[in-house]
Amino acid sequence: MEIGKPQRKYTIEPIRDPVPRRTREEPPPEKRPATAPPGEPTRRGE
Amino acid sequence: MIGAPDYLDPVEGWRVWRVGARDGQVVLQSVFVDAVWEPGRALEARCEHRRRSLWRPWRVVTSEHPAPDEQCSCGIYAASTRSAARRYLGVPSPVGTGMRVIGRVSLWGDVVESESGWRASIAYPAQLYVPIPTEHARRSLRRRAVVDEVAVGLESYGVPVELVAGEPGESILSALSW
């Protein structure tokens, strides 16, 4: 591709990733039930 | 990159891709080099320029500089205008045949700004335009089905994909002259 002579060089570090987070190949993560880890009581003393 | 960046927003240019297939998936490929643009993954440039060693001229050595380098021609290219990019819809490719699409591309990382475009170290498509055949022949209907399949396949990139009326090459110019 012809784009002419170089004029200057700089760096770009985008704040937001230009790559879409979710593409068709990356399905949304499965929702897990909001339960406490096994063996861990939800309330103390019960 | 070392130190603070100069800018925080990617530049957006125009370029043309070849459309190919890999593992049953529609993928974008560069027109002039054998590079596949993976869906969901930014393409990173590397210099593939080769030269003869000064001390051992029978040896071919690869360049070791990061792409893009101002003194080299390496990097991921984009034109600053649609009109500059669209001529590549009809330019023969040295690495393969196939349908072409045009679109906007985000460029970031190290960027060499030139008179009418950029060369960058990292890039990802921002918007894709797929040309639709306008013939009414039966063959064209089959081709239209392929175009639809390509457009659906390109949605894996997670960016807007738009169909535009016109044939690949010069006749798409009018379709893209909005």
Hey, what's the torsion of the CAs at B25, B26, B27, B32, to 10 degrees?
A: 130
| B114 in any annotated domain | yes
Average pLDDT score, chain A: 71
| B2 in any annotated domain | no
CB contact under 8 A, A11 and B7: yes
| B158 in any annotated domain | yes
Which residues of B fall within a CB distance of 8 Å from A6? 70, 112-114, 119
Q: Which domain holds residue B40?
A: 11-175
ipTM computed for the complex: 0.82
Cβ under 8 Å to A: B residues 143-162: 155-159
**DSSP H helical segments within chain B, as ranges?**
82-86, 138-154, 172-175
Residues B15, B18: Cα–Cα separation, whole Å:
10
| B3 in any annotated domain | no
How many C-alpha atoms does B134 have within 13 Å on its Cβ side? 11
pLDDT of residue A45: 40
| B113 in any annotated domain | yes
Task: For residue B46, give every residue at least 6 positions away whose Cβ sits within 8 Å of its Cβ, in sequence order, or none.
Answer: B66, B67, B74
pLDDT of residue B48: 81
Give me the number of domains chain B comprises. Answer: 1
| B142 in any annotated domain | yes
Which residues of B fall within a CB distance of 8 Å from A20? 40, 157-159
* Number of other residues whose CB lies within 10 A of the CB of residue B69: 18
Cβ under 8 Å to A: B residues 45-64: none
Do residues B134 and B165 lie in contact, with contact meaning Cβ atoms separated by under 8 Å?
Answer: yes
Render each residue's pLDDT in chain B as its tens digit; 178 residues.
Answer: 557 999 999 999 999 999 999 999 999 999 999 999 999 999 999 998 777 767 777 777 777 799 999 999 999 999 999 999 999 998 999 988 889 999 999 999 999 999 999 999 999 999 999 988 766 555 666 777 889 999 999 999 999 999 998 644 444 555 555 4
Cβ under 8 Å to A: B residues 67-86: 68, 70, 77-80, 84-85
Chain mean position to CA A43: 33
| B29 in any annotated domain | yes
pLDDT of residue B153: 96
pLDDT of residue B178: 44
Would an 8 Å CB–CB cutoff place A6 in contact with chain B?
A: yes
Binned at pLDDT 50, 70 and 90, residue A46 comes out as: very low
- Which residue in chain A has the smallest CA separation from B42? A19
Residues B32, A44: Cα–Cα separation, whole Å:
66
B63, burial (CB in 10 Å: exposed 0-12, middle 13-18, buried 19+):
middle
| B48 in any annotated domain | yes
Would an 8 Å CB–CB cutoff place A37 in contact with chain B?
A: no
Do residues B43 and B169 lie in contact, with contact meaning Cβ atoms separated by under 8 Å?
Answer: no
Express each pLDDT in A14-33 by its tens digit. 999 999 986 545 555 555 55
